[in-house]
Amino acid sequence: MLQNAIEQTTTTVGTGTYDLTDPTDPLRISFVTGIGSGGEAWYRCESDAAWEEGWGTVTAGTPDTLTRNVVRSSNANAAVNWVSGAKRIYCTALADAARFGIVGAVPSAGGTANAQAIVHKPPLLVLRPGMTGAHTVTTTNTGAVTLAIDGLGAQPLRRANGSEFGLGELIAGQTIRWLWTGSEFRVLSDVNRRDLGRELLASTSMVGGNGVEVTVPQWVHMLEVAVEGARVGSGAVQQIYLQAKVGGVWLTGPSNQYFDSRLFNTQLSGQVAQPKTDALYGHYLGWIGSGDDPLTSITQILNCAGNGYADYAKAFTRSDSNAGAGGYGWAPLVAEGDIALGANQRIEAVRIINISGSPRNFTAGRLIVMGARA
């Protein structure tokens, strides 16, 4: 919206769009050359005691034109009703632009969800620390994000504190304002951040395998793991577990890795309690019945980041599944469990796995994982 050395003349009469005459001074350039057709520009037009300031859209043609959105003028801040004769018109930084950062239309991001790109008219030629800008997100991100401005190369776009954005934090349609630090863009106000709540880490289909896993960022202290409508097709009853990766290794049980206690409120047998014991394969979530009935569960895991000494992450689960093959029928389950962590260890990933005798692939279901900071 601003560019150096733009100055032309206009012979426009009245209050309509400015017709622009090519510059005669070789040290000056036209609005079309400096801004580009379709771009917006701040302008000042003056002749004798009359003057007008505002912004407009530049259009190449015969002649080139500039529309008028008046901010201030000698005509009580309305459009000046110009008389015949040549008027000087040039691009300049109005006080509003300097005071409030009104530098032009906010561009929408091109590129991809995680590699965003924006283009200005005129283009930015160099990034200097302290520069600020804004753009509208076009596609919701799925992970860490980069931003490329006017072909100057992709650079990290990060939260106000310098950390990477997580899944779904930059939402399509959201306008963000950022600052260039010299090495990265930082969003000035993390309007979609949920530092005091939960953040979506993953929402993924379970179909096609007998296990699905999600990486857990280092900052997570509490996890919420939801399984929605998991199915494995008809056949022998299947048992579903949540497993954790610790120290680069999946804990697969049963050697002092998981300890569970469970209470089933079964359809056919009433309440069935199982005391805390060394779990067989992982933290138990429930059955998927022989009739392909679905399993739905939600598990909260606390102390995911561990401590400076050997400790346990604490898992709490509620689920609903059909244990007809075990003589129980539909059985809501409440479970409490421990996941072993060594000193300074944390949960690095979780997975939902069907590890029964002859495990079948999941034919339906969705895994949703949320994380929260300390």
Q: What is the pLDDT of residues 337-354, one digit of tens each?
A: 999 999 999 999 999 998
| pLDDT for 324 beyond 80 | no
| pLDDT for 317 beyond 70 | yes
| Better-predicted residue by pLDDT, 206 or 4 | 206
Q: Binning pLDDT at 50, 70 and 90, where does residue 262 land?
A: confident
| pLDDT for 195 beyond 50 | no
* 267-309 tens-digit pLDDT: 767 777 888 888 888 998 988 877 778 899 999 999 988 888 8
| Better-predicted residue by pLDDT, 358 or 61 | 61
The C-alpha atoms of residue 213 and residue 367 are separated, in whole angstroms, by: 9
DSSP letter for 6, please: B
Of the options 3.30.70, 1.10.10, 3.30.420, 2.60.120, the CATH number for the domain spanning 198-372: 2.60.120
Over residues 212-237, the mean pLDDT reads 89
Tokens of residue 125, six digits: 């030629």
| Better-predicted residue by pLDDT, 189 or 249 | 249
Q: Residue 71 class from Cβ within 10 Å (0-12 exposed, 13-18 middle, 19+ buried)?
A: middle
| Sign for the pseudo-dihedral over CA of 64, 69, 73, 76 | positive
- Give the model's pLDDT for residue 268: 66
| Better-predicted residue by pLDDT, 157 or 107 | 157
Over residues 92-98, the mean pLDDT reads 69
| Better-predicted residue by pLDDT, 273 or 180 | 180
| pLDDT for 65 beyond 90 | yes
- Terminal-residue alpha carbon distance, the chain: 44
| Better-predicted residue by pLDDT, 225 or 236 | 225
Question: What's the chain's Rg over C-alpha atoms?
Answer: 31
Domain ranges for the chain: 7-100, 110-187, 198-372
Over residues 143-154, the mean pLDDT reads 92
Whether the full predicted model's pTM is greater than 0.85, yes or no, is no
How big is the CA angle at 319 (ends 364 and 336), to the nearest 5 degrees?
135
The C-alpha atoms of residue 159 and residue 162 are separated, in whole angstroms, by: 5
Query: Which of 136, 105, 129 lies closest to 36 in space, CA to CA?
Result: 105
Alpha carbons within 13 angstroms on the beta-carbon side of residue 254 total 8
| Better-predicted residue by pLDDT, 42 or 357 | 42
| pLDDT for 2 beyond 80 | no
DSSP letter for 324, please: G
Q: Binning pLDDT at 50, 70 and 90, where does residue 325 land?
A: low
- Give the model's pLDDT for residue 101: 53
- Give the model's pLDDT for residue 194: 45
The string over 255-287, giving b where at least 16 C-beta atoms fall within 10 Å of a residue's C-beta and e elsewhere, is: eebbbbebebebeeeeebeeeeeebebbbbbbb
Which residues fall within 8 angstroms of residue 97, CB to CB, at 6 or more apart?
1, 2, 42, 103
Token match 């000046």: residue? 80
The C-alpha atoms of residue 109 and residue 224 are separated, in whole angstroms, by: 32
| pLDDT for 329 beyond 50 | yes
- Give the model's pLDDT for residue 51: 96
Tokens of residue 263, six digits: 């209470």
| pLDDT for 362 beyond 60 | yes
What is the overall mean pLDDT for the chain?
Answer: 86
Paired sense of beta strands 64-66 and 50-59, if any: antiparallel
The C-alpha atoms of residue 68 and residue 77 are separated, in whole angstroms, by: 12
Q: Which of 12-21, 100-109, 167-176, 285-294 has the lowest mean pLDDT?
A: 100-109
Q: Which amino acid is at 123?
A: P
Percent of the chain beyond pLDDT 70?
Answer: 91
Tokens of residue 270, six digits: 């009433």
Which residues fall within 8 angstroms of residue 153, CB to CB, at 6 or more apart?
none
- Give the model's pLDDT for residue 196: 44
Over residues 249-278, the mean pLDDT reads 82
Beta strands in 48-104 (DSSP E): 50-59, 64-66, 69-73, 87-90
| pLDDT for 201 beyond 60 | yes
| Better-predicted residue by pLDDT, 169 or 363 | 363
| pLDDT for 100 beyond 60 | no
Query: Which of 222, 204, 200, 216 lies closest to 299 in space, CA to CA?
Result: 222
Tokens of residue 352, six digits: 């939902």
